[in-house]
Amino acid sequence: MTQGGEEAKRAWLGPALWTVIVTTSKVVYTQSLVVTVSWATAVVAARTNMTGR
């Protein structure tokens, strides 16, 4: 590997790594949001069933 090759690899790896990190955090955020919403819906439904409304 030449010095230029290493530089090019690092220049490519930075943005690629950043993209992976951003995508992963977006997925995790979306999943946790979905879980929270569905859990809240289940709690509300359970409470509604208990009170008989």
The one-digit pLDDT tens for each residue of the chain (53 residues) are: 567 788 888 888 889 999 999 999 999 999 999 999 999 999 999 999 887 65
Token pair for residue 39? 């859990």
pLDDT, residue 2, reads 65
pLDDT, residue 44, reads 95
Q: Which amino acid is at 51?
A: T
- Residue 37 and residue 31: Cα distance in Å, rounded? 10
- Residue 9 and residue 51: Cα distance in Å, rounded? 63
**Residue 2, SS3 per DSSP:** coil
- Residue 16 and residue 9: Cα distance in Å, rounded? 10
